[in-house]
Structure 1
Amino acid sequence: MLQRFSFFFICLSAIATAFAQGQPKNIVDEVIWVVGDQPILLSEVENYRLESDLMGQSITDPYAKIPEQFAIQKLYLHQAEIDSITVPDADLQRAADNEISRYTQRAGSREALENYFHKTLPQLREMFKEQERIKNLTYRVRDKLTSHVKVTPAEVREYFSKLPTDSLPLIPTQVEVQIITARPKIAREEVERIEARLREFARRVNEGETDFARLAKMYSQDGSSRNGGEMGFMGRNMLVPEFANVAFSLNDPKKVSKIVKTDFGYHIIQLIEKRNDKVNVRHILLRPEVTQQEYDRNLAHLDSIGDDIRGGKFSFEDAARELSDDKDTRNNHGLMVFNSFDPEDEETIITSRFQMKDLPQDVAKVVDNLKVGEVSKAFRMTDEKTGSEICAIVKLKNRIEGHHANMTEDFQVLRKVVMQKRKNAAIQKWLAEKIKSTYVRISPEWRNHKFEYEGWVK
């Protein structure tokens, strides 16, 4: 529990401090702990407590846990200094730009973001840089401290052989799903209508009749519209190639790009700023309208394919490879895959096994009623990547019912449990030793708390 709390703490402490700096204070600041030569201030603790309360994160005995977590953070940072672990400033700058973009979208504008935090944009950038520095250094120290931890298959088997079945991790029901999609074709007249409208927008901006951001707020069909079409700083690999090629070729912020076609629709783009390997642009997205007749045609086409698969004329796998419009699954026999980031191991896990909650909602509704090997009727669904509506049929390839983990089907899950247990033990041992060897002074009125670790009170 302490490990998870500490990472939550690391991610929020800088934000909490920034938020509380804009709040009225009725306390006289004082040094309540000293760790090594680093002080922990009463205001830091109060600021974090206020932010946690605001976010609905209740902390039991906050005046014990919060300063203790600040102290642990300082131990990690001190170890990073000893080991000469640093984070390149360019990485911090990129992370700060990403955070500003993310929070700007949530706040609605940069002005609203500054008002919320009671800080200017340069101050926010420095705040997010410091937050990323602390988080990154902590991860790197922990990785170095646990780099020696290894687990063999025999050790995994031995560990779990001693546990009763009901103590084993519970694996939720998982499914493997294959999909064939049909993307609606857009009538030429509709494309011409969209392009004419975007050309008119571009003309009005280029001739100074109106402001690009104003048009984006009024007409763009992208989520960035509320921010005047501004996307924030993004690297080339964060954008689809067609959009990136045009965005990175722009040099004049006063001019609007040519029309760009992507899977999302049709765009015009305006440069705001280039910074190293990132670009910040505004864009207006218009999505062509699809007629009901086109959807009906695609549904009938997919139902015909489904009938042929059920009739044995060809396999679902062959149909997916030859007939599906889905680029991600076409060369994988139509098999859908799930990408999830594991923050503990800092790696992306790619698997064909989905929990029902992780499937696209429209697919999950259909799969829930299928038997293994059964092919669905055609249905409409939202493409989660582009936000557009497409048609699909799916096949339930496999269903793994919820069960307690076993060595045959879930070895990697079990291995991860043992690995994490050993890593946590290594971290706990290091912290205990570090606390003993580090100068710590706690003000008398702050000593009578129950701390997670012993040895703080000398």
Structure 2
Amino acid sequence: MKQTILKSIKMNKFLLVLLFSTAIMQAQVVLEPDSTGVVKSNDSLVVQQVMKRDTLKPFKRYKAEGVSAVVGEYVILDSDIDKAYVEMQSQGISIEDITRCQLMGKLMEDKLYAHQAKQDSLMVPDAEINGMIDQQMQYMISELGSEEKVAAYYRKDNMAQLRTELFEVNKSIKLANLMQQKVIEKVEVTPEEVRTFFFSIPEEERPVFGAEIEIAQIVVDPEITQQAKDEVVAKLNAMRADIIDNGASFATKAVLYSKDPGSNSKGGLYLGVKRDSPWAKEFKDQAFSLLEGEISEPFETEFGYHILYVEKIRGQEVDVRHILMFPEVSQQSIDAAQKKIDDLKAKIEAGEITFAEAARKNSDDKETRNNGGQLINPISFDTKFDLTKMDPTLSAQVYNLNESEVSKVFTDRDRTGKSSLKILTVTKKYEEHKADYTKDYERIKQLALREKQFKTINKWQNDKIKDTYISINQDYQGCDFAGNWMKK
């Protein structure tokens, strides 16, 4: 078990491929989780359990629609596993070392969780699943260009069929995640358990932690003048008047002028917007306050300025088109921001003010300025960043910096497309090193907790397998699964 955990720290190639392929298999569609909010099978505990299985090569024979296994009320088809291989290959992932046994085992485990979640009356609101599907579909349409192309790509007659399949897949995954979290939610480790765990690992096998850094930033945004705001509102009003008075095409104007990369190629179209969808509040307020065929006055969100057209009202959903525009930043504002950040950099390097003080007094980034500009890792939620896993833009600016050294001024764009000027500093460097019980206690504690969670998961799984109807096709009888799926 410890070997499995230590291998996961190094994140070998096999684990990376299996993590990704498992998420694809679960969703059965090509999606970007950060963009769509897809609920993935993100429990690395189960994924790492799968790593313990055999290394048999994929079977040569494939069934068209044969049943591979039944777990409780869930049926697993051969085509479910076939789809996983196709999706991995379409993403350029090698399937050479990924076996059908491994994918089959992972899928059975997820179905066992989902089955038991229903037995324990764990509930997932349909509205939550539908919201996820809305995001998935919007992303797929933006990538492939139209609903027809999306349906054809996934071999469905229409989007309704795809939506039905996505609903069941997403609900199953969500139930599985809820069940696993319930199984391990009360698992804790004591300091003595942490100590025992660490010192039971032979010294030559103790993990090596990679180089990490802590980073702080100062952000200066070029000022957007009231004149610039008024000008963009005037442009949107002119477009609105042309559409209403002269019959101009809203969709054409969206293609020509909208700055929204997710919809401008489709004439600004977004389908199936719901009240509980994760859109900006101002956007939803407009979408649900207009009648079919009406166009809003210009309004502002965190993304910029919009006008919105309600194309179709379908019960509690609306199909809308919108045009998004940004106020233009004058060269005078850009020059002023450049001078401000250059002066701050010079004062910090001259020792007139510390980086943290300058950030607290001058940074325009609300999330970081109060703690001296210190960045938080969005994955681990602490202040340390692994240099090999950082955002490339960020990594390029700090890779060669020493502690307390200030980066060059650079321009960065946020998710709304707004440009800002930034400087960074490395507040602390941690060189690559073998795990030390005192210095790395928190990390070691997490490893010890993970091992205890593994054991809890294994025990729960084998207990539930005994009480659950399981039928496995003879093609998979030779697989060396982690759990006692054959009930031997």
Instruction: Indicate whether the TM-score tops 0.5.
Output: yes
2:402 counterpart (371, 389, 393)? 371
Alignment of 1:243-258 (within 5 A): 243-244=282-283, 247=286, 250-258=289-297
Given that 1:181 and 1:325 are in contact with CA atoms closer than 8 Å, whether structure 2 keeps it comes out as yes
| Partner SS state of residue 410, structure 2 | strand
Unaligned runs of 5+ in 2: 5-13, 31-61
Superposed CA RMSD: 3.7
CA shift for structure 1 position 351 = 2.2
Q: 1:214 aligns to what?
A: 252
CA shift for structure 1 position 373 = 2.1
1:129 counterpart (162, 167, 176)? 167
Higher mean C-alpha deviation, range 306-315 or range 2-11 = 2-11
Given that 1:435 and 1:456 are in contact with CA atoms closer than 8 Å, whether structure 2 keeps it comes out as no
Quote the sequence identity (%). 28
- The code of the aligned residue for 1:323 comes to N
Q: 1:28 to 1:174 in 2, by over 3 A?
A: closer
Is 1:85 the counterpart of 2:122? The answer is: yes
Distance 2:442 2:311 in 1: 46
Q: 1:384 to 1:234 in 2, by over 3 A?
A: farther
Q: 1:21 aligns to what?
A: none
Q: 2:45 aligns to what?
A: none
Distance 2:420 2:120 in 1: 53
| Partner SS state of residue 371, structure 1 | coil
2:356 counterpart (281, 292, 317)? 317
| Partner SS state of residue 390, structure 1 | strand
Alignment of 1:58-73 (within 5 A): 58=95, 60=97, 62-73=99-110
Q: 2:385 aligns to what?
A: 354
CA shift for structure 1 position 159 = 0.9
Distance 1:45 1:427 in 2: 24
Q: 1:230 to 1:216 in 2, by over 3 A?
A: same
Q: 1:118 to 1:391 in 2, by over 3 A?
A: same
Distance 1:16 1:289 in 2: 38
Q: TM-score when scaled to structure 1?
A: 0.81
Given that 2:74 and 2:115 are in contact with CA atoms closer than 8 Å, whether structure 1 keeps it comes out as no
| Partner SS state of residue 28, structure 2 | helix
Alignment of 1:180-329 (within 5 A): 180-186=218-224, 190-207=228-245, 209-224=247-262, 225-231=264-270, 233=273, 238-239=278-279, 243-244=282-283, 247=286, 250-262=289-301, 264-271=303-310, 281-292=320-331, 294-329=333-368
Is 1:108 the counterpart of 2:122? The answer is: no
Given that 1:175 and 1:397 are in contact with CA atoms closer than 8 Å, whether structure 2 keeps it comes out as yes
Distance 2:206 2:267 in 1: 51
Distance 1:409 1:270 in 2: 58
Given that 2:299 and 2:305 are in contact with CA atoms closer than 8 Å, whether structure 1 keeps it comes out as yes
Q: 1:158 to 1:302 in 2, by over 3 A?
A: same
Unaligned runs of 5+ in 1: 18-25, 341-348
1:151 counterpart (184, 189, 195)? 189
Distance 1:170 1:264 in 2: 42
Q: 1:138 aligns to what?
A: 176
| Partner SS state of residue 339, structure 1 | coil
Q: 1:61 to 1:373 in 2, by over 3 A?
A: closer
Distance 2:316 2:444 in 1: 41
Distance 2:384 2:269 in 1: 36
CA shift for structure 1 position 85 = 2.4
Distance 2:300 2:29 in 1: 42
Is 1:382 the counterpart of 2:412? The answer is: yes
CA shift for structure 1 position 136 = 1.4
CA shift for structure 1 position 354 = 2.5
CA shift for structure 1 position 151 = 0.7
Q: 1:96 aligns to what?
A: 133
Higher mean C-alpha deviation, range 274-283 or range 203-212 = 274-283
- The code of the aligned residue for 1:354 comes to F
Distance 1:51 1:194 in 2: 43
Distance 1:288 1:61 in 2: 50
Q: 1:118 aligns to what?
A: 155
Tell me the alpha carbon deviations over residues 387-437 of structure 1, each in whole angstroms, 9 at most, x when there is no partner.
Answer: 222222333322222333334443332222222222222222333344455
